[in-house]
Structure 1
Amino acid sequence: MNRWITKRIATASWRGFFVWFVLWFGYNWWAFNMASPWTRALQGGGGKLPETQPGFPPIEPQRSLDALAAANATGDYILWQALDFPYAIGNLFVISIAIALALKATRLEKSLLRFLLVLPPLYVVSEIVENSLVAAFAARIIAPGEA
């Protein structure tokens, strides 16, 4: 990981940040402002998606899943879970390049703050786990249950 951090800092450039930011912003614009699986799922869920609801006990997420099923939006919701991966990758590059550029600008690239670059990959891993779980709940492959 230390090698990846060093390479990330060394290769960070404003041009790379701009390119990734434009790609990320364009994807977000499509996903959140136009007719996309996310907007259709959000509408089908009555403005509430399972992952935005308190889940212990899983009453509210289950209500969201039931609303998605009643609105025939479960397919859009499951598709969105797959389409959320490019969003996470965009976050990975935009945020890691921004952190690296900030470290370079403040001349702190050798400090312990360099390990902030571990956070974007951890976010991607957590998104993969979360999206897999909520897609499995929506597809009724696994059932949420009270502890």
Structure 2
Amino acid sequence: MKINENKNRNVPNLRFKGFKDEWEKKKLGYMVEFKAGYAFKSEQMLSEKSTYQLIKMSNVYQNELRLDRNPSFSQTIDSKQKEFILKKGDTVLTLTGTVGKQDFGYSAQIKEDDKYLLNQRLVLLREKKDKSTNDFIKHLISNESFLKVFLVKLKAERETKQM
């Protein structure tokens, strides 16, 4: 009879590459870099393809990155806007939705470096070296119970700031 050596330890049988230790409870902010999107001015956006494409809520549709949906571009960005350049592997998550529809909480991973800008009403989740991986983050936030807790806490945080 084969005994599972991980049975009495907090170690899953299936692991992401590079992670060997037992699971520990950590706050998400310990493992993930968060950044809320930027309110780019629509009058400065271009409709024809250019240096950067803005990633908007409409581009993260049903957990797919849909660059063909209502595209907006920018030729140049200033030093403040450089903070919102997305990297390959980054995960973006929609924060708000349409009234009466459950279209928030969609996520997608970015496939290329330095081509996309993170727009408002989205949040970036980026791995922290030696703390997590982008694939783990994408898997984690696709879990419905995670999304419920995350979005409830986000709403509570916003309400606290408004007081």
The TM-score normalised by the length of structure 2 is 0.27
* Structure 1 or 2: more helix by fraction: 1
The TM-score normalised by the length of structure 1 is 0.29
